[in-house]
Amino acid sequence: MNKDISQAVIRRMPRYYRYLGELLDEGVERISSNELSLKMNVTASQIRQDLNNFGGFGQQGYGYNVQYLYEEIGRILGLEQRHNIIIIGVGNLGQALANYSSFEKMGFVITGLFDINPDLEGRIVGRIPVRMLRELEPFAATHKVDIAALTMPKYTADKIANRLVNLGIRAIWNFAHIDLELMDKDVVVENVHLSDSLMQLSYNMMRSQKERKKEFAKKNETSSKQ
Ligand code: NAD
């Protein structure tokens, strides 16, 4: 059933999940798509369409059961399973990820940290010791690794990513600013670029400034005519 669901829909699911989690914390038991739409600033029909991809979940006149919908979206996103993550590159970004405890609440558990800097060897970051990259193979042989996060310089990313793929790791969370060329095309890659988000913010700031200027000019024009 979930086969042809567009990535655009999938990308909206975590936001639904977050909002529903907040509603649960507030003790809300059910919500209509209209109420959810006001809260999330998405049209009610978009919400209904999105959720209909997975079979609906709502009842006419009743709305959505928040707990049920939260759990179902969590299941769709695969959050009922634990995911073990290793981080390659324990610099500024790698340490920030390792120290962020909220991932664990969603079942993303950081179990290994790897770097090549001997000064970092054995240092504890977010409860885990930093290992040297040469220990990657023995680690992967004895620990289940579901996801590898790449937070080292981009020029090493391809080589390391393929080394991880050879170890049987099927998912890469890629922060290095490079499009990975993987030998195995079935491995899933999620690229994260915080700078893309900043550029989008910059664009929207510019647009909103222009609109404010236009409105200001329009107001001046009408008041000078009066
Ligand atoms: P950093 O210099 O603080 O950390 C990089 C770490 O990688 C260092 O500890 C270094 O020893 C280690 N390293 C170098 N080569 C390695 C290798 N072959 N194997 C394992 N570890 C290795 O840098 P940072 O600020 O943490 O940034 C890390 C990476 O993330 C960079 O590629 C940077 O461009 C990228 N980055 C991406 C985003 C994003 O939004 N995608 C944001 C910030 C940084």
Distance 164 CA to ligand 1 centre (A): 17
pLDDT tens digits, 173-185: 999 999 999 999 8
Give the pLDDT confidence score for residue 1 in this predicted structure: 45
Taking CA atoms only, the protein residue closest to ligand 1 atom 43 is 93
Give the pLDDT confidence score for residue 198 in this predicted structure: 95
pTM for this one? Answer: 0.89
pLDDT tens digits, 161-208: 999 999 999 999 999 999 999 999 899 999 999 999 999 999 999 999
Torsion-angle region of 168 (φ positive above 0: left; ψ -120 to 50: alpha; else: beta): left
**Tokens encoding 6:** 């567009």
Q: Is the shortest distance between the CB of 51 and ligand 1 below 6 Å?
A: no
Rounded to 10°, the helix 44-52/33-40 angle is 110
Taking CA atoms only, the protein residue closest to ligand 1 atom 4 is 91
- Between CA 161 and CA 174 the distance in angstroms is 9
Pocket test of ligand 1: the residue of 97, 115, 121, 152 to mutate, having most ligand atoms within 8 Å of its CB, is 152
Taking CA atoms only, the protein residue closest to ligand 1 atom 9 is 91
Taking CA atoms only, the protein residue closest to ligand 1 atom 31 is 153
Distance 150 CA to ligand 1 centre (A): 8
- Give the ligand 1 atom nearest the CA of 95: 26
Give the pLDDT confidence score for residue 101 in this predicted structure: 87
- Between CA 217 and CA 211 the distance in angstroms is 10
**Where residue 137 falls among pLDDT bands split at 50, 70, 90?**
very high
**Where residue 6 falls among pLDDT bands split at 50, 70, 90?**
confident
CB 173 within 8 A of CB 149: yes
Taking CA atoms only, the protein residue closest to ligand 1 atom 34 is 176
- Between CA 192 and CA 196 the distance in angstroms is 9
The mean predicted confidence, pLDDT, of the chain is: 91
- Between CA 3 and CA 178 the distance in angstroms is 28
Q: Is the shortest distance between the CB of 157 and ligand 1 below 6 Å?
A: no
> In sequence order, what E strands does 53-183 have?
64-65, 83-88, 108-115, 124-125, 128-132, 147-150, 171-174
pLDDT tens digits, 85-129: 999 999 999 999 999 988 998 899 999 999 999 999 999 999 999
Give the pLDDT confidence score for residue 211 in this predicted structure: 86
Q: What is the mean pLDDT of residues 142-152?
A: 98
- The answer to whether residue 71 scores a pLDDT higher than 80 is yes
**Where residue 3 falls among pLDDT bands split at 50, 70, 90?**
low
**Where residue 150 falls among pLDDT bands split at 50, 70, 90?**
very high
Give the pLDDT confidence score for residue 59 in this predicted structure: 67
Distance 200 CA to ligand 1 centre (A): 23
Distance 152 CA to ligand 1 centre (A): 3
